[in-house]
Structure 1
Amino acid sequence: MSVRELVVLGTGSQVPTRTRNHNGYLLRWDGEGLLFDPGEGTQRQMLFAGVAASAITRICLSHFHGDHCLGVPGVVQRLSLDGVRHPVVAHFPASGAEFFARLRHASVFHETAELVEAPVAEPGVIATGVFGRLVARRLEHPVESFGYQLVEPDTRRMLPERLAALGVQGPVVGRLQRDGAVDVDGRRVELDEVSAPRRGQRFAFVMDTRLCDGVFELADRADMLVVESTFLSADAALATRYGHLTAAQAGRVAAECGVRKLVLTHFSQRYGDAGLFRAEAAEAFGGEIVVAEDISRIAVPTRRAARLVAE
């Protein structure tokens, strides 16, 4: 059975608190495990969350500020300590390759796991697989930063009632899916007649950035948008100065981009009431909002039901 969920490992920003660790997010997507922005303490947070190092197939860094990358040494070493057998691909801004090299080899250890470096130099598709496409978009922050978007291919969902009505059954169904049409009792049955479009799911990860085109491109029609909301609107000037978003801006992005589930995170330690972030985002966005908490699991929304085709 496939699982699609976000395991939240940390939700703080530059300064961790008693209840919020530095960043860390593991997206479990069927057979993939994408670890985004592992900040300091991520290895220990994984233990609390019940996540094994073997669950990681990719590491995706948005940029090289410490709260988004200081967990890399522990995670990388844990891959070897636990004897992870599959290759793990690391995506990060190419301009920070020197920093990644320092993090990867921060101390002496016996390296046995295979870590494949895949620096991101330009925005666009950076990986493909059975999961679909992994896309990077440039963001606006004092240092080079990229956001990530996972896009599953569109497919078609077979409609059992239509198949039965037209006498398509057994191995013929597979042939229809493969060839696009079959002959049944002297009648040509097209795939479109017995199926409906099923849009591939989309996940977007947007960290430290001002509002920019990249934010909207990443959030476009996302089933789940994980987005920083470091500041509240009262401190919008600070947000702009330091290259961050407010909760209100995150809500606006979600509303304009047709997001289904909005996950707010990366909260400044200056605020004590996390409910304020939800309230502010909700002024612009009427959909589901989750204020992320450390060591929580957030399900990717289930697929929308396909519409029946006309007779």
Structure 2
Amino acid sequence: MSSRELVVLGTASQVPTRQRAQNGYLLRWDGEGLLFDPGEGTQRQMLLAGVAASEVTRICLTHFHGDHCLGVPGIVQRLSLDRVAHPVHAHFPASGHEYFRRLRNATAFYEVADLREEPVQDDGIVAAGDFGALTARRLEHSVESFGYRLTEPDGLRMLPERLADAGISGRLVREVRREGSVTVDGRQVLLEQVSEPRPGQSFAFVMDTRLCDGVFALAEGVDMLVIESTFLASEAELARHVGHLTAGEAGRVARECGVRTLVLTHFSQRYPDPRRFHDEAAGAFGGEIVVAEDLMTVPVPKRR
């Protein structure tokens, strides 16, 4: 299987700090490169992280606050500068289509890249292919906002020992997968006798929002949840007022949804010690917790 990992480009919220750039996250998923919420400075962060513009196949914006989209002009222009040959699909809330148009055409440049705008109107599948299905769900923020979930379909894993015992090799392996059974030396062997279910992997990306149904729907059973934790519990009332989550709420979501790896990010500049986010989330969730740092890489957990 090809590489599946999250490259963290920026982890600050509204205001960058000396240690944290504004948002930016690239999910490498086999042949796909999904760039989520490129904030200001994302192009430079990609350079520092060793991410080429040619890796980007989709740009996914949750909403049109600046810390989640002001990197779009640089990324769009870099696609053309590097003459990226494949189409790049852009997903964003349809209500902000005019904002995206302005960002895309922020300055004069020679556009040769094939950038395809695909506004998100409502909950549902926004893209599907060999990578699986990319789904959007409405969140609850001060402007229209959507979270994203990437889900690989369930499959089968062939069992070499059982294949060998049944005398199946070469073209017969392909045949039993395709037809569901194969005859070997006059004996019928069923696909379920030489294979086992292989659950598909899943990933969710949740940014600026209060707790709402969409958050839990996106996070349900995912292998990796990347989620904002802008505030700590001491500012819980402020978080609700401005439409954000606390680290404790992120931990609660991970626990109730059966998340495997929880990645906390989008930190307010008021907190200099990131360990506090880990400790607060750990009070609600006993699984793996990653407090995101700029330029780190987080592997998607291996299959269950």
TM-score of the superposition, structure 1-length normalised? 0.97
RMSD of the alignment, in Å? Answer: 0.7
Per the TM alignment, residue 167 of structure 1 is displaced from its structure 2 partner at its CA by 1.8
Match of 1:186 in 2: 186
Matches within 5 A, 1:106-255: 106-255=106-255
Which of 50-59 and 180-189 deviates more? Answer: 180-189
Instruction: State the secondary structure of the residue aligned to 2:209.
Output: coil
User: Alpha-carbon deviations, 1:104-128, whole Å to 9, x = none?
Assistant: 0001111111100000001100000
Q: Secondary structure at the match of 2:286?
A: coil
SS of the residue 2:134 aligns to: strand
- Alpha-carbon displacement from aligned partner over 1:33-91 (angstroms, at most 9, x marks no partner): 00000000000101111111000000000000000000000000000011111110000
Aligned-partner Cα distance in 1 for 2:187–2:255? 46
* C-alpha distance in 1 between matches for 2:82 and 2:37: 21
Distance 1:232 1:189 in 2: 57
How far off is 1:172 after superposition?
A: 0.8
Unmatched runs of 5 consecutive residues or more in structure 1? 305-311
Q: Residue deviations 1:237-260, cap 9 Å, x none? A: 011000000000100100111111
Q: Secondary structure at the match of 1:39?
A: coil
**Structure 2 unpaired stretches of 5+:** none
CA displacement 1:221-240 (0-9 Å, x = unmatched) = 11000000000011100110
Give the 4+ runs in structure 1 shifted more than 3 A.
none
Q: Partners of 2:287 and 2:185 in 1: how far apart?
A: 48
- The aligned residue for residue 308 of structure 1 is none
Query: What's the CA shift for 1:161?
Result: 1.2
Find the counterpart in structure 2 of residue 39 from structure 1: 39
For 1:94-109, list aligned pairs within 5 A.
94-109=94-109
Q: Identity rate of aligned residues, in percent?
A: 71
3-state DSSP of counterpart to 2:251: helix
Aligned to 1:287: 287
Alignment-mate amino acid for residue 93 of structure 1: P
Q: How many residues align?
A: 304
Instruction: Tell me the equivalent position of 1:91.
Output: 91
Q: Distance in 2 between matches of 1:94 and 1:163?
A: 50
Hey, what's the Cα distance between the residues in 2 that align with 1:187 and 1:282? 54
Counterpart in the other structure of 2:9: 9
SS of equivalent residue, structure 1 residue 13? coil
Which secondary structure does the structure 1 equivalent of 2:277 belong to? helix
Q: Distance in 2 between matches of 1:289 and 1:195?
A: 33
1:80 and 2:80 aligned: yes
Q: Is 2:273 aligned against 1:273?
A: yes
Pairwise CA distance, 1:170:
2.1
Q: Distance in 2 between matches of 1:283 and 1:248?
A: 7
SS for the counterpart of 2:48 is helix
Secondary structure of 2:290's partner? strand
Of the structure 1 ranges 180-189 and 62-71, higher mean CA displacement relative to structure 2 is found in: 180-189
Deviations 1:183-235 (A, max 9, x none): 11222111111111000000000000000000000001110000000000111
Q: Which string of whole-angstrom CA distances, capped at 9 and with x for unpartnered residues, describes residues 152-195 of structure 1? A: 01000011111122222221111000101111122211111111
Alpha-carbon displacement from aligned partner over 1:240-289 (angstroms, at most 9, x marks no partner): 00000000010010011111100000000011110000001111111110
User: What's the secondary structure of 2:254's corresponding residue?
Assistant: helix
Cα separation, 1, equivalents of 2:214 and 2:59: 20
The DSSP-based 3-state class of the residue aligned with 2:79 is helix
TM-score relative to the length of structure 2? 0.99
Distance (whole Å) between structure 1 residues aligned to residue 2 and residue 235 of structure 2: 41
| Secondary structure of 2:85 counterpart | coil
Q: Give the letter aligned to residue 165 of structure 1.
A: D
